[in-house]
Amino acid sequence: MTKDPLFLIAAGACLVVLVILMIGIGGFAKGGDFNRKHANRIMRYRIIAQAIAVALILIFVIFSGRGG
């Protein structure tokens, strides 16, 4: 499974979501000017990345189910 390129892409997308989430949480915890300027945009990016990650996971599940 870990050698499947689609799995690696889906896992990478999940890591991207995690990084964006950590940046957003860090900005929220720090507060200040950065949070006021960028909080909504960062969370929008997280939602978009999360939707892409979920779609990739579903595609992986669909294609791996046919092979087994």
Encode pLDDT of 7-65 as tens digits: 999 999 999 999 999 999 999 998 888 888 989 999 999 999 999 999 999 999 998 87
pLDDT over 60 at 68, yes or no:
no
What's the pLDDT tens digit per position in 17-29? 999 999 999 999 9
Residue 4: which region, alpha, beta or left (left: phi > 0; alpha: psi -120 to 50)? beta
Q: Is the pTM of this model over 0.95?
A: no
Alpha-carbon distance of 9 to 12, in angstroms, equals 5
